[in-house]
Chains A and B, each alone.
Chain A
Amino acid sequence: MDKHLKKISNLINNQNNLGNKKNFTLASAALVCTIIDITQIHPEKYASLFQENLNLAEEEFEKIHTEISHDALNIDEKVSCIKAELNNNMFQIMEFLKILNQCAIVNGCTQKSYREFELIRDKFLREFY
């Protein structure tokens, strides 16, 4: 997982024209946490991973964790934010989806994780299908 968070971090750092890096980071972290189902794993371990790789503060991670736990995370909003920050660039969007895909697979490769990835992927791409 560490490796994949680093990839997201690299993607953020390689974007010169991101309007708001913090929004992009928060939206990315929320989608990764949804895919790996953060409510079922040790949040403390992941809080430090997100802090190290994405510079996410503990309270920011806690907010994402709470929203997912209460089924209150607006995934559509996160997807729209990331697409806008990537200027709807299809190559960048596909690179981002590859990272999410890997997160789903390395997370014990469960059906639930993969299904979450598919739902998010289709929100990104439905208009192009």
Chain B
Amino acid sequence: MRLEKFTILYVEDDEITQELIKEILLPSCKEVFVASNGEEGLALYKEKNPDIVLSDIAMPKMNGLEMSEAIKKLNPEQPIALFTAFSESAFLKKAAEIGVATYILKPLDEEQFFNSLNYMAIELEVNRDIAGQNG
């Protein structure tokens, strides 16, 4: 599993979902950092500098899109995936505008979830290889 080399920041306000996804992620990733809203997520992002960010969209204080926009300003190349049921079309339009291109479809299909994470991990590896060759 490629993911074992990568750290993940997971942002979700619903405690039950948070616990469930964390349990799924923990055995496969190097480390998982968890936040309960966008504000906490952004603070944790600055502190931990994770490889991949996963976030819900609708959250109190700062939503997933506002947080993603702030993260993209800090690091435009940061891989971010948003959980969505594809019912929030205005949110998704905005997500595309700020450069979020990976979505995790709700309800969660575990195999598809890991396929999407692996895709992001491959993208990271390829980009790092290229940066290494150029630098």
User: Residues of A at under 8 Å CB distance from B?
Assistant: 90-91, 94, 97-98, 101-102, 105-106, 108-111, 114-115, 118, 121-122, 125-126, 128-129
For the complex, what is the distance from the CA of A98 to the CA of B85, rounded to whole Å? 21
Q: Are A129 and B101 touching (Cβ within 8 A)?
A: no
Q: Is the interface of A mostly helix, strand, loop or mixed?
A: helix
| CB nearest to B123 among chain A residues | A94
A-B contact pairs, 13 of them (CB 8 A): A90-B122, A94-B123, A94-B126, A97-B119, A101-B102, A114-B105, A115-B105, A118-B116, A121-B119, A125-B115, A125-B119, A128-B2, A129-B2
For the complex, what is the distance from the CA of A97 to the CA of B123, rounded to whole Å? 10
Q: Are B86 and A111 touching (Cβ within 8 A)?
A: yes
For the complex, what is the distance from the CA of A126 to the CA of B86, rounded to whole Å? 25
Interface membership of B103, Cβ < 8 A: yes
Q: How many A-B residue pairs have CB under 8 A?
A: 50
Q: Is the interface of B mostly helix, strand, loop or mixed?
A: helix
Given the interface contacts A114-B105, A129-B2, does A90 sit within 8 Å of B115 by beta carbon?
Answer: no
Q: Which residues of B contact A128 (CB under 8 A)?
A: 2, 118, 122
Given the interface contacts A98-B101, A101-B101, A102-B101, does A109 sit within 8 Å of B122 by beta carbon?
Answer: no
> Which stretch from B17-25, B44-52, B88-96 is at the chain A interface?
B88-96
Sorted nearest first, the 5 A-B pairs with minimum C-beta distance are: A111-B86, A129-B118, A109-B92, A105-B96, A101-B101
